[in-house]
Amino acid sequence: MKSRRTARSNIVFAFVVGFVCYLAWLLRHELLLVYVSALFAVVLQPLVGFISGLRIGRFQPFRRSAILVLILGVVAAIALFGFLAVPPVVRDLQDFAKELPQRLPGLVEKLRRLPFADRIDPGDIVDRLESTMASSASYLLLSIRNWASALFTVGMGLILTVYFELEGVVAYRWVLSLFRPGSRERLDATLIRAKARMGRWLIGQGSLMLILGVAATTTYASLHVRYAYALGVLTGLLNIIPVVGAAVCIGLALLVASFDSWGRVLGVAIFYFVWINLENSFLTPRIMKSSVDLPGLAIIVGLLIGSALAGVVGAAVAVPTAVLVAVLADEYLVQRD
């Protein structure tokens, strides 16, 4: 009789586990959004604590509004960047569109001098460009729904991050209450260690982003590359995604520099060659190794898995997720004598 009850319990438990897994698969996008928001809340908590600890004499003006101050600061920075960076790009694109019909025959003549290019018809190229622009415009109109969905997801992520900052302790204690007292204390201590290391990751990554942004902006300005300040800011910001962010910045900077002269392309390429070697041999071992204590192989593997599962967002949270996994594995899986 007891064995029948045990078998029945096991069958019911298996069905429950299968149903939960199926439900998690159906809600995988929503669960990913919740996880990313909670992770950002944990990573940003030291910064929120720093803002709330600011004093003017004996008065702490941001003690209860640190999150609001952080959000306003980010929005103001984005607005300032758009105000300074977008108008020159839009102006150059408008000038290029106006001058394209006059410059196109000259470009075609240069192309005809190349091997196997003597049969190029300028009219055919113009027709192809016009059809491409028309199809691109229709595609943009049709993708408004996708853009609206993406904006809604970003907005919900910001709202969830704010709520996790405000009420994260309550949710954290509720999750811990699901475990037995002995296991609860061990898990609590493990997650506290992971939280400290993830907070140090933000400091280390912010330092690398600041150093690269200043160095890139100085280099672009000295080489007189177009949009030097905008490219410098993007270079620093995209460095939050290891390897991939730097690769995107290299391609973008080389493309912009190629519009003016090959000497500037060579200058940008030399800068990135020096930076990659300096970052890999000196900066990253001293900044990131001391903050997150992860080998480079673990960071690359985490980046590949994160980008495969969630694209750019997964790559951005790959390193703190790898830190969390490493701390949990060290506590529960590593066998010590």
pLDDT tens across 233-280, in order? 888 888 877 666 777 777 888 888 887 788 888 888 888 888 877 876
CB atoms within 10 A of CB 279: 19
How many Å apart are CA 9 and CA 16, to the nearest integer? 10
> What are 314's two structure tokens?
């997964």
pLDDT of residue 336 exceeding 80: no
The pLDDT of residue 161 is 85
Average pLDDT over residues 33-37: 86
Lowest-confidence segment of 7-16, 39-48, 117-126 by average pLDDT: 117-126
Query: Which residue would you say has higher pLDDT here, 141 or 181?
Result: 181
How many Å apart are CA 128 and CA 179, to the nearest integer? 64
- Read off the pLDDT band of 109 (50, 70, 90): low
> What are 230's two structure tokens?
């905008």
Average pLDDT over residues 104-122: 57
pLDDT of residue 126 exceeding 70: no
303 and 311 Cβ atoms separated by less than 8 Å: no
The pLDDT of residue 118 is 54
How many Å apart are CA 73 and CA 65, to the nearest integer? 12
pLDDT of residue 292 exceeding 60: yes
pLDDT of residue 66 exceeding 60: yes
